[in-house]
Amino acid sequence: MTGAAQPVYDWDGFGFETRQVHAGEYPDKNHGLRVPPIALSAGYLFEDFDDQVSRFDGSIHWKAEEHPGREDPAGFSPSERAAIYSRQGNPSNWVAEERLASLEGGVVSVAVSSGQAAISAALFALAQQGDHIVSTASIYGGTRILFGRSFKRFGIEFDFVWDADDDAEWERAIRPNTKAIYTETIPNPCNDVTDLRRIAEVAARYNLPLVVDNTVGTPALIRPFEHGANIVVHSATKFLTGHGAAVGGAIVDGGNFDWEAAERAGRSFPLITRSSRPGVASMLDRFGTGAYARATRESVVNDIGPTLSPLHGFLLHQGMETLSLRMERHVASSQRIAAWLEQQPEVESVDYAGLPSHPLHELALRDYGTAPGTSGAPGGQSGIARTGSVFGVTVRGGIAGARACVDGLRVFSRMTGIGDTRSMVLHPLTSTHGTFAPEITERLGITPGLLRLSVGLESADDLIRDLRGALDRVAAVS
Ligand SMILES: *Cc1c(COP(=O)(O)O)cnc(C)c1O
Point out the domain boundary residue: 320, 350, 385.
320
Q: How far is the CA of 115 from the centre of ligand 1 (A)?
A: 5
Gap between the Cα atoms of 15 and 379, Å rounded: 12
Beta bridge partners, 181, equal 134, 210
Q: Is residue 12 part of a domain?
A: no
The three-class DSSP label of residue 383 is: coil
Gap between the Cα atoms of 433 and 419, Å rounded: 19
Q: Is residue 330 part of a domain?
A: yes
Q: Is residue 4 part of a domain?
A: no
**Given this model, what pLDDT does residue 380 score?**
64
Contact present, 101 and 74 (Cβ < 8 Å) = yes
Give me the tens of pLDDT residue by residue for the chain, a chain 478 residues long.
444 555 556 788 899 999 999 998 877 778 888 999 999 999 988 888 887 887 776 554 454 444 444 444 444 444 456 678 999 889 899 999 999 999 999 999 999 999 999 999 999 999 999 999 999 999 999 999 999 999 999 999 999 999 999 999 999 999 999 999 999 999 999 999 999 999 999 999 999 999 999 999 999 999 999 999 999 999 999 999 999 999 999 999 999 999 999 999 999 999 999 998 888 889 999 888 889 999 999 899 999 999 999 999 999 999 999 999 999 999 999 999 999 999 999 999 999 999 999 999 999 999 998 866 554 445 567 788 999 999 999 999 999 999 999 999 999 999 999 999 999 999 999 999 999 999 999 999 999 999 999 999 999 999 999 999 999 999 999 8
Q: Is residue 45 part of a domain?
A: no
Q: How far is the CA of 164 from the centre of ligand 1 (A)?
A: 22
Contact present, 89 and 73 (Cβ < 8 Å) = no
**Given this model, what pLDDT does residue 376 score?**
45
279 shares a domain with 177: yes
Domain interval for residue 166: 73-320
Q: How far is the CA of 438 from the centre of ligand 1 (A)?
A: 23
Pick from 112, 191, 238, 416 the residue to mutate for probing ligand 1's pocket: most ligand atoms within 8 Å of its CB. 238
419 shares a domain with 295: no
Which protein residue has the closest C-alpha to ligand 1 atom 1? 235
272 shares a domain with 170: yes
Q: How far is the CA of 116 from the centre of ligand 1 (A)?
A: 6
Q: Is 343 exposed, middle or buried (0-12, 13-18, 19+ CB in 10 A)?
A: exposed
Q: How far is the CA of 457 from the centre of ligand 1 (A)?
A: 20
CATH number of the domain within which 188 lies: 3.40.640.10
* pLDDT tens-digit series, residues 319-366: 999 999 999 999 999 999 999 999 999 999 999 999 999 999 999 999
Point out the domain boundary residue: 295, 320, 345.
320
344 shares a domain with 472: yes
Q: Is residue 46 part of a domain?
A: no
Gap between the Cα atoms of 135 and 65, Å rounded: 41
Indicate the number of domains in the chain: 2
Q: Is residue 60 part of a domain?
A: no
Point out the domain boundary residue: 267, 302, 320.
320
Q: How far is the CA of 217 from the centre of ligand 1 (A)?
A: 12
Pick from 140, 147, 415, 426 the residue to mutate for probing ligand 1's pocket: most ligand atoms within 8 Å of its CB. 140
Q: What is the dihedral of CA 27, 28, 33, 34, to 10 degrees?
A: -10
Q: Is residue 52 part of a domain?
A: no
Nearest to residue 351, comparing CAs of 444, 439, 462, 464? 444
**Given this model, what pLDDT does residue 121 score?**
98
Nearest to residue 219, comparing CAs of 142, 135, 105, 92? 105
**Ligand 1 atom closest to Cα of residue 390:** 15
256 shares a domain with 210: yes
**Given this model, what pLDDT does residue 8 score?**
57
DSSP 8-state class, residue 207? T
Q: How far is the CA of 338 from the centre of ligand 1 (A)?
A: 23
The pocket around ligand 1, CB under 6 angstroms, is made up of 114-116, 140, 142-143, 184, 213, 215-216, 235, 237-238, 247, 249, 418
391 shares a domain with 351: yes
CATH number of the domain within which 337 lies: 3.90.1150.10
Nearest to residue 191, comparing CAs of 385, 390, 21, 378? 390
Contact present, 61 and 79 (Cβ < 8 Å) = no
CA distances from 70 to 65, 67, 93, 127, 278 (A): 9, 5, 21, 30, 24
**Given this model, what pLDDT does residue 58 score?**
54
Gap between the Cα atoms of 147 and 398, Å rounded: 30
Axis-axis angle for helices 323-342, 460-477 (nearest 10)? 30
347 shares a domain with 263: no
83 shares a domain with 142: yes
Contact present, 411 and 385 (Cβ < 8 Å) = no
**Given this model, what pLDDT does residue 280 score?**
84
140 shares a domain with 114: yes
State the amino acid at position 308 in one-letter form.
Answer: L
**Given this model, what pLDDT does residue 68 score?**
44
Residue 79: how many other CB atoms lie within 10 Å: 15
State the amino acid at position 64 in one-letter form.
Answer: A
Which protein residue has the closest C-alpha to ligand 1 atom 5? 115
**Given this model, what pLDDT does residue 279 score?**
85
State the amino acid at position 419 in one-letter form.
Answer: G
Handedness of CA 53, 56, 61, 65 (dihedral sign): negative
What stretches of 243-290 show up as alpha helix (H) in DSSP?
Answer: 259-264, 270-273, 283-287
Q: Is residue 33 part of a domain?
A: no
Nearest to residue 119, comparing CAs of 92, 146, 101, 80? 146
